[in-house]
Each structure stands twice: as C-alpha cells, then as structure tokens.
Amino acid sequence: MKIVCSQQELLNGLNIVSKAVSDNTTMALLKCVLIQAGNGEIRLTANDTDLGIETVIGGQIEIAGMVAIEAKDFMPVIRKMDDADIVIETDANCNMTITCNKRKISLCGKPGDEFTFLPKIEKKENIAISMMTIKDIINKTIFSIGNGDINKVMSGVHLVIKNDQMRVTTLDGHRISICRVNLKNIYEEQDVIIPGKALNELSKILPADAEKDVNIYFSDAHVLFDFDQTVVVSRLIEGTYINVDKMMSSDYKTKVKVNKASIIKSVDVSMLFSKEGNKKPLVIDIKDNVMELKCNSPLGSMDDFLDIEKQGDDIMIGFNPKFVMDALRAVDEEEIDMYFINPRSPLYIKDENEKYIYMILPINLS
C-alpha cells in the first residue's frame, strides 16, 4: 500500500474513528485502525465489536492495499508530523514507513485480513435528523444513564420513534430524563435501546450543524448513523426498557419560576460541601417568593437566597445537588420551571410543551 494524505485529513479521520478503538483488550486488532486504500477511496475503520466507525479521507492512492496499525502508536506520530503531505507506505510484512518532508518514521503494522469489519446493515428506511438535533438530544439526556449493574437496559438510551415524533429517555434509578423532538416526516415505529457509550462517542464526533442531516437506519440488532463521509454502527441492547410513563405525574402543589444562571451558581457552590462521600443534601426551602438553598456538612455550610415566582404551597425538600445541576445545565431557557408535590415526591423540571422533562427523586430530610 502507498498513499499520500495531508496531515489534517489524516488527523481528522483518526480523531473520528479512534472513538471506536478499544483500550482495554488483549485482542491486538481491536486496538488498531484499519487503513484501506482501493476503489479510489482511502477508508479508516475502527471497531471494538460493540461500536464501529468508518470514515473516508481525502488523498492519493499510489498502490492499493490495506494495513492495521495500533492507534496509540500511529496517532501521536501523525500528530507530531509537519502540516504537510504525509506518505504512508507498507511492505509485504506490513512494516509501515511514514514520510513527511525529510523525516521518516517506521512502525510495525499488522495484516488487515482478520480485522472485524463493520456489520452489514441493510439500508431500508432512513430517518433524517439534523446533526445539531441529534447532538443536542444526546447531550440533554446522556448524563442520567445508569451503569447497568442492576439492569443492563439502564446503561442504554431508550429511543422511540412514532409517527413524526422521536422520544429519548435515560434513567439511573434516582432520576429520569426525557426529551422529544419533531421529525420532518412520518416514520415506521421504532423502539430500541442504544448503548450510552455509542451515543456519547457519536455526540463527540458529530459537528453541531443544523443544516446537514444524519441518516439513521435500524436492523434487528444494530443502529447505523450515516453523515458526511462517516458511518457509525452500534450494537443495540436487547430487552424491554422500563416503562417510565407510569412514574411520571403532572400534578403539582408548588410551581416555581427561577433564573437558570442564578440557581446554577448556587447549586455549584453547594457542591463544595455536599460531596460523594458525605451524602449531605442540598436543601431547597421555598417560602413566599424566595427560594433558600442550604447545605450543611462537616466541611462548612452554605446559605443562599434566590428571588422566584411561586404558585402554590411553601415546601422544604432535599436533593443530591449533582442531579439538580445536571438537569439545570441541560436546559436552554434562561428561566426554568420547577414543579414540586411534597418532600417525598419527585421534582419535575420541564417546559410547558414537555419537550424536556427531568424527574429527580428527593433525599429524605428527616
């Protein structure tokens, strides 16, 4: 194989596919990026068998061929080359020579024959959603994913498509996040659980572009995202997701409107005192048109007062401040609506149209 690419093209491609390189594995090929040059295309692939990513980069093919190369050896070399054309050449034993200006680097590659290629997904119906929307909906829900220890499905993101609606749900046993978006067309119904890790990596490599679409395809066991010159394929999690609808309630006794920046600042300070170790709650004490936020720990204490608009009863309730913070940060609006029922019932942070709903269970204060 012999190819010529600019440093920039190579680096961009490697940054994309390396998200699917496995670090913790004894299988050498899972740590590799496969470079394939042929049919007028230079293709980079990585696949940890749960998640696979493939991207096509620009460049000239002088001799067609393929080679697998460990990402942790190859990427630093490409990163340190000059911003110029890089020639990558391999011999019959997969020894790789990387030449840039007068500098020549040698690395040991591996034959690509036994590389685990991406599963073939039949591209039936495609669901087209803008890159921006996909990236946004992932970032607005991924934080409340569970670790899957109790129930494997909780380590996934529940994605439901029905008519022209997409609903994304995550939950971790203490909180539920739900986001909805309108699609441009009416689609066949889908109900799948996508591993959180796959969507996390997808959101990192997706440009925040509102004009360009991601095409999504489903098979029985996989989901495929197709955008630009890149394909991301993830295995689906088998099983039935938890029915969250019966856990939701739209009743409330107290509704509060509060400035997002102010409450974020306050919750952030409370996290200096409420740490993982001590499990001290952030206490929210609502009286009249003031929300008092309090946190008391052996390290010290905080006491803060925010102006609010309130409807309904006064209430005092405690939370893990990190859970409140994650939800607050995911909201775009400058003013936030919070709905309370009683000190033992969940807090709901949601907008009027329920485009987003964040449910957070309280900590018992008594």
Total binding residues toward a copy of itself, as defined by CB under 8 A: 26
Rounded to whole angstroms, the Cα distance separating 307 from 23 reads 49
Determine which residue in the list 4, 64, 87, 107 makes contact with a copy of itself, applying CB under 8 A.
107
Stretch that binds a copy of itself, among 73-81, 125-133, 139-147, 245-253 (CB under 8 A): 73-81
Q: Tell me which stretch binds a copy of itself (CB under 8 A): 74-82, 204-212, 237-245, 336-344.
A: 74-82
Please provide the DSSP assignment of 110-144 as one string. Answer: B-STT--PPPP----S-EEEEHHHHHHHHHTTGGG
In whole angstroms, what is the distance from residue 231 CA to residue 65 CA? 21
CB nearer to a copy of itself: give 128 or 269: 269
CB of 122 to a copy of itself, least distance (A): 41
Contact 53, 19 (CB under 8 A): yes
Taking only Cα atoms into account, the Rg of the chain, rounded to an integer number of angstroms, comes to: 25
Judged by CB under 8 A, the residue of 272, 309, 354, 365 near a copy of itself is: 272
The three-state secondary structure class of 325 is: helix
With binding defined as CB under 8 A, does residue 123 bind a copy of itself? no
- The single residue among 4, 56, 64, 77 that binds a copy of itself, judged by CB under 8 A, is 77
Torsion of CA 170, 176, 177, 180, to 10 degrees: 90
Closer to a copy of itself by CB, 117 or 305: give it. Answer: 305
Q: Is 287 in the site for a copy of itself (CB under 8 A)?
A: no
Residue 117 binds a copy of itself, judged by CB under 8 A: no
* Cα–Cα dist 306/69, whole Å: 56
> Which 289-318 positions form the footprint of a copy of itself (CB under 8 A)?
299-306
Shortest distance, position 67 Cβ to a copy of itself, whole Å: 14
The answer to whether residue 104 forms part of the interface with a copy of itself (CB under 8 A) is yes
Does 102 bind a copy of itself (CB under 8 A)? Our answer is yes
Contacts of 193 (CB under 8 A, 6+ apart): 153, 156, 157, 158, 159, 236, 237, 238, 239, 241
The C-alpha atoms of residue 312 and residue 314 are separated, in whole angstroms, by 7
Per CB under 8 A, residues contacting a copy of itself are 73, 76-77, 80-82, 102-108, 265-266, 268-269, 272, 299-306
